[in-house]
């Protein structure tokens, strides 16, 4: 059996606020919505991937005011470094959004929260593999070449530091 990630469903307090954030800040689109059954709340499906009906869905049923505590964060990969910089700039002006730029050596990541406190990671893959867990704060103001040079300088001394392709080739033989 080979499982691949498809989607998550989250319970929210204010669907309109959450949809505004996920659509206008993160670039998702609503793909479907409707009641989950007779006298049941609506579920809203959102996605950025045209081959996935939904990557996230939201159901407005939360009554508590506490931040979500069942999931640490949802992670999304981006293809281009400049998209990370654009997102960082977009997030900086939003009230109550806390941004933590963190590199694990194998990624340059932005960790942040949505309006209801759910954790999100948006990351860009570096060309290297580094054993986990570990992380170091990085500067999103760096240009791509500068950021890659910083990652290499910070993580190259790790015994597990190697090109990503070499790591994946070894894993493929092990699986």
pLDDT value at 125 more than 60:
yes
Residue 149 φ/ψ, nearest 5 degrees? -65, -40
Least confident of 6-15, 16-25, 82-91: 6-15
**pTM to 2 decimals?**
0.85
What average pLDDT does the chain have? 91
Taking only the tens place, the pLDDT of each residue in 96-114 is: 999 999 999 999 999 999 9
Query: CA distances (Å), 46 to each of 60, 73, 86, in order?
Result: 14, 17, 21
Residues 140-159: tens digit of each pLDDT: 999 999 999 999 999 999 99
Measuring CA to CA, which residue among 58, 90, 56, 95 is closest to residue 76?
A: 56
- pLDDT for the residue numbered 2: 63
Rounded mean pLDDT, 126-140: 95
Domains of the chain in sequence order: 1-64 (3.10.180.10), 72-175 (3.10.180)
pLDDT of residue 37: 79
Q: What pLDDT is attached to residue 3?
A: 53
pLDDT for 132 equals 92
Residue 87 banded pLDDT, cuts 50, 70, 90 = very high
């Amino acid at each position: 059996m080979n499982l691949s990630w498809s989607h998550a469903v989250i319970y929210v307090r204010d669907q309109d606020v959450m949809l505004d954030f996920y659509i206008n800040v993160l670039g998702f689109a609503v793909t479907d919505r409707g009641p989950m059954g007779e006298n049941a709340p609506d579920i809203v499906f959102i996605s950025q991937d045209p081959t996935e009906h939904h990557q996230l869905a939201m159901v407005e049923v939360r009554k508590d005011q506490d931040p979500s505590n069942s999931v640490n964060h949802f992670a999304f990969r981006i293809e281009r470094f400049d998209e990370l910089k654009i997102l960082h700039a977009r997030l900086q002006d939003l009230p109550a959004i806390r941004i933590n730029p963190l590199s694990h050596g194998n990624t340059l990541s932005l960790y942040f929260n949505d309006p209801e406190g759910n954790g999100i990671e948006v990351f860009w893959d570096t060309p290297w593999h580094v054993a986990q867990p570990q992380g170091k704060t990085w500067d999103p103001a760096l240009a791509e070449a500068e950021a890659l040079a910083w990652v290499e300088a910070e993580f190259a001394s790790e015994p597990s530091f190697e090109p990503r392709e070499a790591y994946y080739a070894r894993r493929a033989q092990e699986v």
